[in-house]
A and B are shown apart, each in its own frame.
Chain A
Amino acid sequence: MDMKYESDVIKKGNGEKISIMFPPLLRQTIIMSVVLLFAVLIISIVYQIYGPSILQRLDDNVGENLMKFARALEQNKNIEDAKRIYETATRSRFAGEFNRTYVFYRLGYLCWADQEFERSVEYLTQAVQSENHPQINAYEFLVDSLLRLGRQMEALPFVEQWLQKIQKREDLANAHYYLGRIYDLSKDPSKAEEAWNKGHKILPGSKASFELAFYYKKQGNCKKAVYYAEAVLKAGLLPTREPAIKKLISQCNSEK
């Protein structure tokens, strides 16, 4: 094809030829492109040499990455996939011990929520069995799972461990509630009463108070039953259990 070149700036001799072949814009573009290309190639070569060590380091905390991925799935209510990824994470390497036990805790909790108590016990036991980073929150679900499986004697040492590690008042009351339940299921009502009483004293109106209300009602001591029932209503900590408490109070009142 016949091409005609027009130039805004006309120069003479070789300079003109170069300017026609490579106008300034093109020259600048090509030079800068070469600079950037070299930059990328140099970085690529360095990455090829040192990259494997970095990837190895990343691989060492693959457990953490899987944990984050599973947490995102959990937040999106994709529980099945979250459980699957957590499970893979339990077999992976972790850089931090806390994260490893956290994965066991979440997996155990999800199994507990799905009423898979055998599995939940398996994972939650791992979550609390760590010298420096046991998951304190896991104790409640672990003990609850064991109670639901009818393995109350196995639950007792865990409650004792839990009581030693608790820092919050609410958790302490909760632990005493579970302690009471263990004794209750082991047919030791006096110890159960004692534990629930402690729970009530620590946090009036908590689950321990609720249990005491029903315990005394069963004993035929309506006065005490109403006392603890009213404590539950007053505290308002157990809104889902209030209908049962109100029923108990009305029954006791009608008995009078």
Chain B
Amino acid sequence: MGRRNREQNIKTEIVNDTISSILRKMAIYVVIPLWLLAVVLSLSPFTGDPAAPIKYLIISVFVMMISAITLAMVWLGNFQLQFKKSLVFILSGSLLFMSLSTVFAKNKGFAISELSIWLMLFAIALYVPILVIDKKEMQWVLSWVMIAIALSSVYGFFQRWGIDPFPWSTKNVEEYRGLPSSYANPNFAGHALIFAVITGIGLILTSLKEVRNLQYDIRSKSFILALIKLLFFTVCFVLTFTHLYLTKMRSARIALVVAIAFFIFYLWIGKKWTIKSVLTVGSVLVFWAIVGIIMIVVLLAKGYPEGSLPMDNSLNLRLNGYMGAVQMIKDRPLLGFGPGNYRFENIPYWTRYEKLWFTLAKKRNFHVHSDPLEAMTDTGIPGGLFYFGLILLGFIGGLSFVKKHKLFHEQVLGISMASVFLAFATDACFGFNMRVPVSSALFFLYLGLSQAHVEDLTLTGKKTKGLLVIAFLISVLLVIQQSRYYYADVQLQKARGGMYWAQVFANQQKLNSRELALERALQSAESGIQIKYFDPRFFEITARIYMTRNEFEKAIENFDKALYYDSYNPELWTSRAQCYLNWVYRAQIERKPLTQSIETILDEAEKSLHNAIKYCDLYPDSYEGMARTFFFRTAYIKLPEEKKQELMKEVIRYGEKAFETGLQNSQSLLQILIQAHLAIKDYDGCAKVVQRALSIEPGNIDLWSRYAQIMKQKGYPDEYLSFLEKNYAKFKKDAKTMAPTLSQLALMIHQEILRNTKDTRKASEIILETLKLNPNDLSTWGTVVQTVPREQRLANIRKLKDYFKDTPDIPDFVQKMAKEEDQIDWLEISREIIKNIEQDEKQNIPYKTIVLRYVWIAEVAYDENTQRESADKADLYANLATIYQKLRFDDRALSCFPFASKATNKTTQMKVMYTWAEILYKKRKYAEAEEKLQQALQIDPNNVQSRALLVQTLIQLKKIPEAKFEYQSLKQTLPANSNTLKSLEQLMMPYLKNP
């Protein structure tokens, strides 16, 4: 019985060994190669640069798989689990300080998300030496590193040649313009490529040795196989090396030189030394390096070498960034600011150059661009110690492979691994290699491999199974977490895409599509927030969507949340202020009530802008916002004249500062500055601003008429006429396209000559000259007609028409008005004007041009028909009122209504009454507006437009019960989702709550 049991046990043991061996080999020969290909080559189309979320998701899946395999090996097989003590110590020390700094981080959510990434990476380093135990297996894994990276280089070359198998939506981004690859950034590619290049050297050397050993039997299969291997690795090496060269990364090149020098030294000389001796020599070199660096720093600070320092932008940014990082370490030496929190906490430490960079490029550093410094800003000085620990563990682990008595390929394997760590450490001094998915994953893979054969104490536990189950469960949770993060990032991209399309649709006047795009973008952003509640980018995009939809309160709420996590961001502070300002402006334009007082809103805007300026005093947008805030105070708050003057001076101060710091061509700010200068009666300053605005937009008729007003205030200085004539001469060369501006200038010159000489004939010369240049342009005809007394205008048109009888393309309106008096169909003309104005508006023709084109025709029609009696007179004046209303000539429109109200047609009557009431409402004549609206509703009691306006009018008249009654009756007739009802509901809100 006992013997049978023993036999049974031996049999089970063999089966278990076989199971664990199969599982282990599956991990090495299937899982690891597939993971390497996936993590290096994956580029999710939905995420931006870098493609980090998809890569981290792949890493998490890999960690789950290797933890499951290890668990199965222990559970089902006979596998004796052993952990290397040094590795466990360094990894747990790192993790401990990261966890502690996470507890004290300001943005804990973000720190936790970073911590989980470190957890995955540490797991790779921990599991790999358990799975990979054979040197051949190590070479196999390293070969796949080489293959995956070489493939990504091939992809990068295809992109460079313009043949992109996975085309990007835009090629006009920095990442694409460099040497793109599947890393989406040439720098990120460089960090990974140094692994491949150094490993490649090792693999080529071992293959070469193999070929040389087999050269006496060149017909054998082994020789051919070795030759193929050699060729294959050489091709991979050439690809990755060329790719690295083309990335133009200086730090990677330095790292490569250092690593290759070390490789050569150690292969020939160093391997005879003990590790202790190598480290001692290394320490001496470090000492001399410190002395050298200190000398260089001091000499540079003392002004040597004389002259300018040949630093380019990236070096300059790094040196500035390091200063901030050093100060951050000084401020929090023990635990740092928490993993990943550098991006949020660094802004107050910006130097002047970093501020300038932010202003110019709207960019900021999310990383220190020096791994040792970032390790310390994240987790304090102890974090820095463990950062070096990780690198040195790999370096010494690699060196310990190399023994004198060992085979050549084993020595090369160890040296190439040690060299990889040396190159990584060198490159990481100027980059953030450990924070880029591919290079960090490879680092921890190599770290694990370096520990596979190291002579070290091993830890084995009795409760290994339990531990592994917990580790597996954590890895499952990490997969879930990374999937959710990936999903959130996809949502963020969708939201950004939605904003892009909303802008496109707005330009194309497809307002329904725009609304739909914004709605979907909002849904995406909000579902992203549910997952990444700690990431300010989600709140920011949500705020911007709400802002685009004019839902300002919700936008501000989201800006506040974004600022909770990213408290120093000048752009966020400025956008928040802009949101407040847009809210006030919109409410004033639409006459909507505000839920807070204007003072409070403007105070908030000012506070935001103060913060923006505090954190970046070179940011022009915040100065522009400040100028707008002060301007709004003068416009929307009742203030004594003296205070207004004071504020206007502030407007000018901040406005000038905005231009000084590089604000480009902001016509709206220039308009504000013009008004501010006018308010303080600084006409010289005002003239300069107008001239500046005109240099940006010389065709702007509004600006030209403003210029005329200022010159009037300045008493028409001598240079005025010459300035006008100079510009007239300039525009004459482009007479056809500049026709409206030219006619405006002609009118101004005409008036100036008339004022100077009182010679009508001489003054009219320029007008006639302009008409000769553009006889087919309506605005030019308008200018001519305006210079003639009202009663002579029609006759003058006829005269001019005769003068230009041989000229083709005289405007239709002119031809129609030049007929005999009884043949002119004024009603038809008025209808056509309305139609043309609507068309011009659709084509975004500037308002002032539209006025110049049509107002003169309306004027002639008005003057000619006042005394005449005809059947269609009422209809004509109704149309004229519509024209004047469209052209914003409200007083003129009001003068048409007495004639128009005599219309017999009910539709016309209705339209007249409503338009009349609308203008009266606009002019704050609420009682009269109510009267007209009551009359309109008597004509058509079901007219929704009139009733809605009546509700608004009654609210203004404080006739709340009547307003409520009208609102209720509207509510019964309109669908619940009606926009009219929604805006009325907003208006009625305070009264509905408090009956």
Give the B-binding residues of A (Cβ under 8 A): 1-8, 20, 23-26, 28-37, 39-44, 46-48, 50-55, 57-62, 64-66, 68-69, 76, 78, 84-85, 87-88, 91, 95-96, 118-119, 149-150
Segment touching A, from B82-90, B557-565, B886-894, B978-986 = B82-90
Given A39-B286, A44-B329, A46-B298, residue A61 in contact with residue B89 (CB < 8 A): no
Chain B hits for A55, CB < 8 A: 319-320, 323, 351-353
Q: Is the CB of A23 within 8 A of B456?
A: yes
Q: Is the CB of A1 within 8 A of B360?
A: no
Q: How far is the CB of A65 from chain B (nearest CB, A)?
A: 5
* Bound-complex Cα distance A39 to B288 (A): 10
Q: Which of B629-659 contact A (CB under 8 A)?
A: none
Q: Is the CB of B323 within 8 A of A65?
A: no
* Bound-complex Cα distance A26 to B458 (A): 12
Q: Is the CB of A150 within 8 A of B664?
A: no
* Bound-complex Cα distance A65 to B949 (A): 60
Given A32-B282, A37-B385, residue A25 in contact with residue B455 (CB < 8 A): yes
- The answer to whether the Cβ of B756 comes within 8 Å of any Cβ in the partner chain is no
Q: Is the CB of B300 within 8 A of A50?
A: yes
Nearest A residue to B298 via CB reads: A50
Q: Which one, B86, B290, B461, B660, contacts A29 given CB within 8 A?
A: B86
Given A23-B457, A59-B353, residue A36 in contact with residue B293 (CB < 8 A): no
Chain B hits for A28, CB < 8 A: 275-276, 279, 392, 396
- The answer to whether the Cβ of B463 comes within 8 Å of any Cβ in the partner chain is yes
Given A1-B463, A65-B311, A96-B308, residue A26 in contact with residue B319 (CB < 8 A): no
Q: Which of B281-324 contact A (CB under 8 A)?
A: 282-283, 286-287, 289-290, 293-294, 297-298, 300-303, 307-309, 311-313, 316, 319-320, 322-323
Q: Is the CB of A39 within 8 A of B275?
A: no
Given A51-B323, A55-B319, A61-B308, residue A39 in contact with residue B289 (CB < 8 A): yes
Q: Is the CB of B297 within 8 A of A46?
A: yes
* Bound-complex Cα distance A51 to B372 (A): 18
* Bound-complex Cα distance A59 to B752 (A): 51
- The answer to whether the Cβ of B530 comes within 8 Å of any Cβ in the partner chain is no
Given A47-B322, A51-B322, residue A36 in contact with residue B297 (CB < 8 A): no
Chain B hits for A57, CB < 8 A: 300-301, 303, 309
Q: Is the CB of A25 within 8 A of B396?
A: yes
Q: Is the CB of B319 within 8 A of A36?
A: no
Chain B hits for A31, CB < 8 A: 279
Nearest A residue to B294 via CB reads: A46
Given A20-B457, A65-B312, A65-B316, residue A32 in contact with residue B283 (CB < 8 A): yes
- The answer to whether the Cβ of B895 comes within 8 Å of any Cβ in the partner chain is no
Given A32-B279, A88-B360, residue A8 in contact with residue B455 (CB < 8 A): yes
* Bound-complex Cα distance A184 to B215 (A): 83
Contact with A along B446-467 (1 / 0, CB 8 A): 0000000011111111110001
* Bound-complex Cα distance A211 to B162 (A): 43
* Bound-complex Cα distance A36 to B425 (A): 11
- The answer to whether the Cβ of B158 comes within 8 Å of any Cβ in the partner chain is no
Contact with A along B718-749 (1 / 0, CB 8 A): 00000000000110000000000000000000
Q: Which one, A48, A69, A118, contacts B326 given CB within 8 A?
A: A48
* Bound-complex Cα distance A1 to B389 (A): 26
* Bound-complex Cα distance A27 to B235 (A): 41
- The answer to whether the Cβ of B662 comes within 8 Å of any Cβ in the partner chain is yes
- The answer to whether the Cβ of B775 comes within 8 Å of any Cβ in the partner chain is no
The size class of the interface chain B forms with chain A is 35 or more
* Bound-complex Cα distance A55 to B373 (A): 18
Q: How far is the CB of A102 from chain B (nearest CB, A)?
A: 14
* Bound-complex Cα distance A85 to B361 (A): 9
Given A40-B373, A43-B293, A88-B360, residue A33 in contact with residue B392 (CB < 8 A): yes
Q: Is the CB of B462 within 8 A of A6?
A: no
Chain B hits for A76, CB < 8 A: 177
Given A41-B381, A44-B329, A68-B312, residue A26 in contact with residue B283 (CB < 8 A): no
Q: Is the CB of A69 within 8 A of B86?
A: no
Nearest A residue to B464 via CB reads: A1
* Bound-complex Cα distance A2 to B987 (A): 72
* Bound-complex Cα distance A30 to B322 (A): 25
* Bound-complex Cα distance A96 to B388 (A): 42
Q: Is the CB of B459 within 8 A of A3?
A: yes
Chain A hits for B397, CB < 8 A: 25
* Bound-complex Cα distance A61 to B372 (A): 28
Which of A5, A29, A43 has the largest number of chain B CB atoms within 10 A?
Answer: A29
> What 18 additional pairs, Cβ within 8 angstroms, besides A25-B455, A46-B298, A84-B360?
A3-B459, A5-B459, A8-B455, A23-B86, A33-B392, A44-B326, A46-B293, A50-B301, A51-B297, A51-B319, A51-B323, A57-B300, A58-B320, A60-B308, A62-B353, A65-B316, A95-B308, A150-B729
Q: Is the CB of B282 within 8 A of A64?
A: no
* Bound-complex Cα distance A1 to B466 (A): 11
- The answer to whether the Cβ of B125 comes within 8 Å of any Cβ in the partner chain is no
Chain B hits for A87, CB < 8 A: 662, 664
Q: How far is the CB of A41 from chain B (nearest CB, A)?
A: 7
* Bound-complex Cα distance A240 to B307 (A): 45
Chain A hits for B352, CB < 8 A: 55, 59
* Bound-complex Cα distance A149 to B731 (A): 10
Which of B316, B320, B400, B463 has the largest number of chain A CB atoms within 10 A?
Answer: B316
Which of A58, A69, A119 has the largest number of chain B CB atoms within 10 A?
Answer: A58
Chain A hits for B156, CB < 8 A: none
Q: Is the CB of A150 within 8 A of B730?
A: yes
Q: Which one, B311, B388, B458, B662, contacts A6 given CB within 8 A?
A: B458
Q: Is the CB of B384 within 8 A of A40?
A: yes
Q: How far is the CB of A33 from chain B (nearest CB, A)?
A: 4
Q: Is the CB of B730 within 8 A of A36?
A: no
Q: How far is the CB of B381 from chain A (nearest CB, A)?
A: 7
- The answer to whether the Cβ of B784 comes within 8 Å of any Cβ in the partner chain is no
* Bound-complex Cα distance A61 to B356 (A): 13
Q: Which one, B385, B457, B458, contacts A34 given CB within 8 A?
A: B385
Given A8-B455, A23-B85, A66-B360, residue A43 in contact with residue B308 (CB < 8 A): no
Nearest A residue to B82 via CB reads: A6
Q: Is the CB of A47 within 8 A of B389?
A: no
* Bound-complex Cα distance A53 to B300 (A): 8
Q: Is the CB of A35 within 8 A of B283?
A: yes
Q: How far is the CB of B145 from chain A (nearest CB, A)?
A: 24
Q: How far is the CB of B935 from chain A (nearest CB, A)?
A: 55
- The answer to whether the Cβ of B136 comes within 8 Å of any Cβ in the partner chain is no
* 25 examples of A-B residue contacts, CB within 8 angstroms: A3-B460, A4-B460, A25-B393, A25-B397, A26-B456, A32-B283, A32-B388, A33-B385, A33-B386, A37-B384, A40-B384, A47-B297, A50-B301, A51-B323, A52-B323, A55-B323, A57-B301, A58-B353, A61-B311, A62-B353, A65-B312, A87-B662, A88-B360, A95-B308, A150-B730
Q: How far is the CB of A17 from chain B (nearest CB, A)?
A: 12
Which of A32, A48, A52, A68 has the largest number of chain B CB atoms within 10 A?
Answer: A32
- The answer to whether the Cβ of B907 comes within 8 Å of any Cβ in the partner chain is no
* Bound-complex Cα distance A125 to B669 (A): 28
* Bound-complex Cα distance A26 to B392 (A): 10
Q: Is the CB of A36 within 8 A of B286?
A: yes
* Bound-complex Cα distance A57 to B300 (A): 9
Nearest A residue to B84 via CB reads: A25
- The answer to whether the Cβ of B688 comes within 8 Å of any Cβ in the partner chain is no
Nearest A residue to B312 via CB reads: A68
Nearest B residue to A20 via CB reads: B457
The 10 A-B pairs of least Cβ separation, nearest first, read: A95-B308, A50-B301, A53-B301, A33-B388, A26-B86, A61-B308, A25-B86, A36-B388, A23-B457, A33-B389
- The answer to whether the Cβ of B695 comes within 8 Å of any Cβ in the partner chain is yes
Q: How far is the CB of A188 from chain B (nearest CB, A)?
A: 20
* Bound-complex Cα distance A60 to B322 (A): 19
Q: Which one, B372, B456, B729, contacts A25 given CB within 8 A?
A: B456
Given A7-B457, A32-B279, A50-B301, residue A58 in contact with residue B392 (CB < 8 A): no
Q: Which one, B282, B286, B463, B664, contacts A84 given CB within 8 A?
A: B664
* Bound-complex Cα distance A51 to B321 (A): 11
